[in-house]
């Protein structure tokens, strides 16, 4: 791990005046820890692996040096006409994140007088508009992998001249099954380039990817100070009472906005209608909604026009909702890593945030796993007026004493090993030539 000196203002990072002035307009008074450590290294041309929590300021971390390098190269007329090529490619796992990151990049480049063209490319919306936007090439593309491949196959863009590649939310890119698309895209890029990989977690798949993809990378792991501004609480409730408790909490606390996570699309609608019967108006956000509807809902939620939003995990990553006061796990996420992503929607960039989880006895065991994997230990609380009754406590005990199911022979470790080998095979085509 590199421990670079920690500059405490943007002037010390080596950024050009156009960017410094823009950051001042945006009221970024000092770099976040990841910005302070990573930006000088990126400007020096190093590859980078960064482990950073959501809300740590990682978008500016890769966007600022990328913009600076491209802008300086253009000013020195080192870059020829764009043709249908792109210099900087940022790959992200979701459509919302693509739109959000592209907006940030455009905002950071406001003082470049249009010299740097950034285009967002993602599925669910008309491909023609994006083809038009790409006409004449682009300096930076922020893309989800599938749509980018579509545009490449219709010759709208070429990756032969990519100089900088960013994999944002790499763990999510892989867990959403973009492995093959990534391999196809990487095969189209020049081996000589700068690559940066950002990931909140480093499961085996991501580690393999970093080994194959990065060239002597600088490694930065940031424990963001922001973490401490997020308060996590867990409430035990009786089975079947979660909705009543949730409606009670929403009415009692009158949160400006609340983001509620469930695990399935149909659960979004179901919970929304049950809340409505209890006098709470909620909107839903999930993958079955068309892209324009998804964007509309997020915009309204961001603007505070929607107070309660019920979402699946597509909202768990990357979404930056300023000053989101509370995230509630109505259902626990299956993956412990997703717990961290969900709660990271609140308490971003040093704001005070609150993450609540409602658990009934069937969740007890899984919540312990979430705690263990995330090195957490939270006190179990009860909501006043909704004490857990004896029947539920007994049911919890009975479940605890149940013997775990025996695993069928021939499964277990051996199977995992095979899986790891398969993953090895997937990455083997990605090696730098
Ligand atoms: P990110 O982790 O990139 O999604 O950023 C989270 C939020 O922090 C965004 O709203 C950024 O605009 C904001 N942000 C990023 N860097 C800074 C900074 N140095 N000072 C203040 N806010 C920042």
Yes or no: say if 105 and 63 are a contact pair by the CB < 8 Å rule: yes
What is the atom index within ligand 1 of the atom nearest the CA of 56? 2
What is the structure's pLDDT at 304? 86
Cβ of residue 60 lying under 6 Å from some atom of ligand 1: yes
Yes or no: say if 336 and 373 are a contact pair by the CB < 8 Å rule: yes
Q: How many CA atoms lie within 13 A of 339 on its CB side?
A: 23
- From 29, 60, 61, the mutation candidate for ligand 1 (largest count of ligand atoms within 8 A of CB) is 60
Yes or no: say if 203 and 337 are a contact pair by the CB < 8 Å rule: yes
Q: Which of 146, 164, 141, 168 is nearest to 84 (CA)?
A: 141
Cβ of residue 331 lying under 6 Å from some atom of ligand 1: no
Q: Which of 236, 202, 203 is nearest to 219 (CA)?
A: 202
Q: Which two tokens stand for residue 175?
A: 């867990």
Yes or no: say if 247 and 278 are a contact pair by the CB < 8 Å rule: yes
What is the structure's pLDDT at 206? 86
Burial 213-249 (b: 16+ CB within 10 A, else e): bbeebbebebebebbebbebebbbbbeebbbebbbbb
Tokens 């308490």 locate to: 347
For the four alpha carbons of 226, 227, 233 and 234, in that order, the dihedral sign comes to: positive
Q: Which residues contact 384 (CB under 8 A, 6 or more apart)?
A: none
Cβ of residue 28 lying under 6 Å from some atom of ligand 1: yes
Q: Which fold has domain 10-221?
A: Rossmann fold (3.40.50)
Strand partners, 283: 309
Yes or no: say if 232 and 370 are a contact pair by the CB < 8 Å rule: no
In angstroms, what is the span from residue 324 Cα to ligand 1's centroid? 14
Backbone angles phi, psi at 272, to 5 degrees: -60, -40
Yes or no: say if 255 and 411 are a contact pair by the CB < 8 Å rule: no
Q: Which of 206, 232, 224, 253 is nearest to 343 (CA)?
A: 232
Measuring from atom 21 of ligand 1, which residue has the nearest CA? 28
Tokens 């080192």 locate to: 78
Q: How far apart are the first and last CA of the chain?
A: 26
pLDDT per residue rounded down to tens, the chain (433 residues): 333 456 678 999 999 999 999 999 999 989 999 999 999 999 999 999 998 877 789 999 999 999 999 999 988 775 555 788 999 999 998 888 899 999 999 999 999 999 999 999 999 889 999 999 999 889 999 999 999 999 999 999 999 999 999 999 898 888 777 888 999 999 999 999 999 999 887 878 888 888 888 999 999 987 544 445 788 999 999 999 999 999 999 998 888 889 999 999 899 999 999 999 999 999 998 888 778 888 888 889 888 899 999 998 887 765 677 678 899 999 999 999 889 888 888 876 666 788 999 999 999 999 999 999 888 888 888 898 998 888 888 888 888 776 544 443 333 344 343 433 333 333 333 333 3
Domain boundaries, the chain: 10-221, 230-401
Q: Which two tokens stand for residue 242?
A: 């979660």
Measuring from atom 11 of ligand 1, which residue has the nearest CA? 57
Q: Which two tokens stand for residue 284?
A: 């839903």
In angstroms, what is the span from residue 203 Cα to ligand 1's centroid? 25
**Same fold across 10-221 and 230-401:** yes
Burial 15-42 (b: 16+ CB within 10 A, else e): bbebbbebbeeeebeebbbbbbbbbbbb
Cβ of residue 338 lying under 6 Å from some atom of ligand 1: no
Cβ of residue 333 lying under 6 Å from some atom of ligand 1: no
CA 54-58-61 angle, to 5 degrees, is 170
What is the structure's pLDDT at 361? 92
In angstroms, what is the span from residue 11 Cα to ligand 1's centroid? 17
Yes or no: say if 303 and 315 are a contact pair by the CB < 8 Å rule: no
> What is the spatial distance between Cα 262 and Cα 180, in angstroms, rounded to a whole number?
28
Cβ of residue 320 lying under 6 Å from some atom of ligand 1: yes
What is the structure's pLDDT at 422? 34
Q: Which two tokens stand for residue 413?
A: 């470790």
What is the atom index within ligand 1 of the atom nearest the CA of 55? 2
Yes or no: say if 246 and 274 are a contact pair by the CB < 8 Å rule: no
Can you give 392-415 as a three-state secondary structure string? HHHHHHHHHHCCCCCCCCCCCHHH
**230-401, which class in CATH?**
alpha beta
What is the structure's pLDDT at 228? 52
> What is the spatial distance between Cα 6 and Cα 21, in angstroms, rounded to a whole number?
21
Cβ of residue 217 lying under 6 Å from some atom of ligand 1: no
């Amino acid at each position: 791990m590199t421990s670079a000196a920690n500059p405490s203002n943007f002037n010390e990072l080596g950024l050009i005046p156009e960017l410094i002035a823009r950051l001042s307009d945006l009221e970024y008074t000092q770099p976040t820890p990841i910005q302070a450590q990573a930006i000088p290294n990126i400007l020096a041309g190093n590859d980078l692996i960064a482990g950073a929590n959501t809300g740590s300021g990682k978008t500016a971390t890769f966007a600022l040096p990328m913009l600076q390098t491209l802008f300086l190269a253009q000013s020195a007329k080192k870059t020829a006409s764009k043709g249908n090529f792109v210099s900087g490619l940022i790959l992200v796992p979701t459509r919302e994140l693509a739109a959000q990151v592209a907006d940030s990049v455009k905002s950071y480049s406001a003082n470049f007088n249009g010299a740097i063209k950034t285009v967002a490319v993602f599925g669910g919306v008309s491909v023609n508009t994006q083809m038009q936007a790409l006409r004449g090439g682009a300096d930076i593309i922020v893309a989800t992998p599938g749509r980018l491949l579509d545009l490449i196959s219709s010759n709208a863009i070429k990756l032969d001249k990519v100089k900088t590649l960013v994999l944002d939310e790499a763990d999510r890119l892989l867990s959403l099954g973009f492995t093959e698309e990534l391999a196809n895209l990487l095969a189209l890029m020049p081996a000589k380039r700068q690559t940066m990989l950002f990931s909140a977690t480093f499961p085996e798949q991501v580690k393999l990817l970093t080994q194959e993809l990065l060239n002597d990378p600088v490694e930065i792991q940031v424990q963001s100070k922001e973490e401490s501004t997020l308060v996590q609480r867990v409430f035990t409730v009786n089975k079947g009472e979660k909705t009543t408790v949730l409606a009670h909490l929403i009415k009692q606390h009158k949160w400006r906005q609340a983001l509620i996570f469930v695990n399935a699309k149909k659960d979004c609608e179901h919970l929304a209608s049950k809340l409505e019967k209890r006098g709470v108006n909620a909107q839903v956000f999930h993958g079955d909604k068309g892209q324009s509807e998804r964007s509309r809902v997020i915009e309204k939620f961001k603007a505070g026009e929607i107070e309660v939003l019920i979402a699946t995990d597509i909202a768990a990553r990357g979404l930056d909702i300023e000053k989101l006061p509370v995230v509630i796990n109505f259902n626990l996420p299956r993956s412990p890593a997703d717990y961290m992503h969900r709660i990271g929607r609140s308490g971003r960039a040093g704001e005070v945030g609150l993450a609540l989880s409602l658990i009934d006895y069937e969740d007890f065991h899984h919540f312990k796993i979430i705690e263990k994997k995330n090195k957490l230990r939270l006190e179990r609380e009860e909501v006043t007026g909704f004490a857990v009754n004896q029947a539920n406590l007994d049911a919890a005990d009975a479940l605890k004493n149940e013997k775990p199911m025996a695993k069928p022979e021939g499964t277990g470790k051996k199977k995992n090993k095979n899986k790891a080998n398969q993953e090895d095979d997937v990455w083997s085509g990605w090696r730098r030539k």
